[in-house]
Chain A
Amino acid sequence: MLYFIEQCLNGVQLGMLLFLLAAGLTLIFGIMDLVNLAHGSLYMLGAYFAATFAGLTDSFVLGAILALIATLVVGMAVEVIAMRRLYGRDHLDHVLGTFGLILFFNEMVRLIWGPAGMTLSLPMEMLQAVEVIPGVFYPLYRLVIIGATLLVALFLYILVMRTRIGMLIRAGASNREMVGALGINIKLLYTLVFGLGAALAGFAGLMQAPILTVQIGMGENILILAFVVIIIGGIGSIRGAFVAAVLVGLIDTIGRAFLPDLLRLFFSTNAASNAGPAISSMLIYLLMALVLVFRPEGLFPAARK
């Protein structure tokens, strides 16, 4: 039981990470109609920046803040140099163009930071475990990730639904020309939105950096998971992304933890331990297939104009 609660928390933590990535993706797709495969590269850059800046400043928090700013800047630069030219084109063009960007970023990182991975160590006080409920100890840092992401989600909600800039973003999503005609600098707005998406990815990367090794290509597998989240949640919907992210995080983590044992009840030990890993990695894709069969637009389809 205690183990189960721990795994649930791990699932929620993975879900939070996925939410950060999926929110940026879905924001960029919902507003600019752009499929950005290079989103995972920004996640990777966030982690590399954090590891580097934390090393330079000897402070995790300072490093994280600098890394966040750096990914924001890189994101806006990428928008101005490349992405801007892709708006309004075919989705295939987006896929191909951003696929090219992935290769570019991976090699760039290899050039700058070298092929070996990096590690980012946490401050001492983050390393301890806290007793979340009597008898269950959980690493403080993972709780911090969950808390910080919830704050970010709240911030996003307020930003998009309650502020003037959020209003402009929503308006730009439904009618680009009209917003432009009313005297709003839509180009700048798009750059800002892309920067925001990049910063969210960077934030996910830098929060995850102390837990995983910072390495080339770290953003790609998680990006595909984020795609699954978006498909389940419904493209363009931040609320859907949040629900689906937690769902996917929980199912993936709990499936990996318990499915092999569960299979052992029905099949021979040998067959179960062989099939267990394969089947548990399939679970979220099966969920995606199920959602598609019953709700092809996702669980929370964004309102169509």
Chain B
Amino acid sequence: MTAQINVRSVFIAALLTVLALLPVYAALTGNYFLMTLFTRILILAIAATSLNLILGYGGMVSFGHAVYLGIGGYAVGILAKEGITSGFVQWPVALVVSALAALVLGALSLRTRGVYFIMITLAFAQMFYYIAIGLDRYGGDDGLTIYKRSQFGDLINISNKTQFYYLCFALLLGTIYLVWRIVNSRFGMVIQGARSNDRRMHAIGFPTFRYKLICFVIAGTLCGLAGALLANHTDFISPALMHWTRSGDLIVMVVLGGMASLFGPMIGAVALLVLEETLPILIGAVAAPFVGENATQAAEYWQIVLGPLFLMVVLFARGGINGLLAGARRG
């Protein structure tokens, strides 16, 4: 990460500036929809950044990362339902439970590698999904409305949209900073070494399993934080938080933005969610001259375009947006 001025750093700086000034724009124009959308983007960017730590830097392709979104969210939701609304209790509980879950799931899943690891993380995430459906007291399949957001006394009022937005923004920057520190530490070097050649790292004396497990737990905990934020953002939790497509979305964000790059997952989160919002409009506009009044109907099928787009990214842009900006071609 040399601080040279190139297209990529200018782009990232511009994106960060836009993100920082968005509430100002919202306050001036009264367009709060945009701010709600971007709060969501920031939260998912935290989740994607945490996934990038294990997927991008550690080479552990977890297809069940959304499970920690769910665990963090359910920790907040369940405590709120039981009458404990203090964020000083809710959030630490969310983090600890996520960490414990990641410890158990990681200890089991990391016994395997390659495609087994992909499938097993997916299967365990699905298990939690079904457990959440079975929780009748907490809404089961229908989910649970959170009537009161986490309370932080006089410190911060997260029911205030602007304050909550900046909290998410600060936490995202904090997460990215943390990942930066981890990646460039000795610990991070071992993790990246294990990605390239696990056996060799093991041979020169590093217990790679333990290193990878700790990395897995850190990623899970950070994602649990994102889950707690998401529950507060939507005032609602449901098993859909950890549906397997959500895990897939997180992977898409990481790869779309650029694996093993600090700001890649953030770029990917912005790109994917903005794409999801604009693609229907775009398709409607393109289809209008051909099908006339049916254009709005055609716009409903925007995923027909999105799906093959993922395939295109896989086939032609492995470095993701970050790679394209850096002008680097990866094989």
Which residues of A lie under 8 Å from residue B116 when comparing CB positions?
Answer: 231, 235, 296
A96 touches B114 (CB 8 A): no
Do most interface residues of chain A lie in helix, strand or loop, or is the interface mixed?
A: helix
Which positions 104-128 of chain B face chain A at CB distance < 8 Å?
A: 108, 111-112, 114-116, 118-120, 122-124, 126-127
With A224-B122, A224-B123 as known contacts, state yes or no: A97 contacts B251, CB within 8 Å.
Answer: no
- Does A288 belong to the interface (CB within 8 Å)? yes
Seed contacts A104-B308, A231-B123; 17 additional CB < 8 Å A-B pairs: A93-B314, A96-B251, A96-B313, A104-B303, A104-B307, A105-B307, A107-B301, A107-B303, A220-B244, A224-B123, A227-B122, A231-B119, A278-B130, A278-B134, A281-B134, A285-B126, A292-B112
- Does B137 belong to the interface (CB within 8 Å)? yes
- Does A1 belong to the interface (CB within 8 Å)? no
Which residues of B lie under 8 Å from residue A288 when comparing CB positions?
Answer: 120, 123
- Does B248 belong to the interface (CB within 8 Å)? yes
Q: Which one of A85, A231, A274 contacts B136 once the chains associate, using CB atoms below 8 Å? A: A274
**Taking CB as reference atom, which chain B residue is nearest A228?**
B123
In the assembly, what is the distance between CA of A97 and CA of B63, in Å? 14
Distance from A186 Cβ to chain B, minimum over Cβ atoms (Å): 21
Which residues of B lie under 8 Å from residue A89 when comparing CB positions?
Answer: 314
A292 touches B310 (CB 8 A): no
Which residues of A lie under 8 Å from residue B251 when comparing CB positions?
Answer: 92, 95-96, 99
A293 touches B111 (CB 8 A): yes
Distance from B141 Cβ to chain A, minimum over Cβ atoms (Å): 11
With A91-B115, A96-B251, A231-B119 as known contacts, state yes or no: A104 contacts B304, CB within 8 Å.
Answer: yes
- Does A148 belong to the interface (CB within 8 Å)? no
Interface residue tally for chain B (C-beta within 8 Å): 43
Q: Which of B130, B309, B318 has the most CB of A within 10 A?
A: B130
Which residues of B lie under 8 Å from residue A97 when comparing CB positions?
Answer: 310-311, 314-315
Which positions 128-178 of chain A face chain B at CB distance < 8 Å?
A: none
In the assembly, what is the distance between CA of A274 and CA of B137, in Å? 8
In the assembly, what is the distance between CA of A275 and CA of B314, in Å? 42
Distance from A18 Cβ to chain B, minimum over Cβ atoms (Å): 13
With A91-B114, A227-B123 as known contacts, state yes or no: A99 contacts B61, CB within 8 Å.
Answer: no
With A35-B118, A231-B120 as known contacts, state yes or no: A107 contacts B304, CB within 8 Å.
Answer: yes
Which residues of A lie under 8 Å from residue B307 when comparing CB positions?
Answer: 100-105, 107
- Does B306 belong to the interface (CB within 8 Å)? yes
A292 touches B244 (CB 8 A): no
**Taking CB as reference atom, which chain A residue is nearest B252?**
A96
Q: Which one of A35, A99, A228 contacts B310 once the chains associate, using CB atoms below 8 Å? A: A99
- Does A108 belong to the interface (CB within 8 Å)? yes
B112 touches A285 (CB 8 A): no
B135 touches A278 (CB 8 A): yes
CB-CB nearest 7 A-B residue pairs: A278-B134, A100-B310, A104-B307, A103-B307, A281-B130, A285-B127, A100-B307
B119 touches A230 (CB 8 A): yes
Distance from A107 Cβ to chain B, minimum over Cβ atoms (Å): 4
Which residues of B lie under 8 Å from residue A86 when comparing CB positions?
Answer: 314-315
- Does B131 belong to the interface (CB within 8 Å)? yes
Which residues of A lie under 8 Å from residue B237 when comparing CB positions?
Answer: none
- Does B255 belong to the interface (CB within 8 Å)? yes
In the assembly, what is the distance between CA of A108 and CA of B300, in Å? 11
Which residues of A lie under 8 Å from residue B108 when comparing CB positions?
Answer: 289, 292-293
Which residues of B lie under 8 Å from residue A35 when comparing CB positions?
Answer: 115, 118-119
In the assembly, what is the distance between CA of A85 and CA of B316, in Å? 11
Distance from A173 Cβ to chain B, minimum over Cβ atoms (Å): 15
User: Could you list some 18 contacts between A and B, CB below 8 A?
Assistant: A92-B251, A92-B255, A93-B314, A95-B63, A99-B310, A101-B307, A102-B307, A103-B303, A103-B304, A103-B307, A107-B301, A224-B122, A227-B119, A228-B123, A235-B116, A282-B130, A289-B108, A292-B120
Q: Which one of B123, B133, B313 contacts A285 once the chains associate, using CB atoms below 8 Å? A: B123
B118 touches A95 (CB 8 A): yes
A100 touches B120 (CB 8 A): no
In the assembly, what is the distance between CA of A42 and CA of B1, in Å? 44
Which positions 126-148 of chain B face chain A at CB distance < 8 Å?
A: 126-127, 130-131, 133-137
**Taking CB as reference atom, which chain A residue is nearest B61?**
A92
Which residues of B lie under 8 Å from residue A235 when comparing CB positions?
Answer: 115-116
Which positions 7-26 of chain B face chain A at CB distance < 8 Å?
A: none
Q: B36-69 CB contact bits vs A (8 Å, 1 = yes)? A: 0000000000000000000100000101000000
With A281-B130, A281-B131 as known contacts, state yes or no: A292 contacts B123, CB within 8 Å.
Answer: no
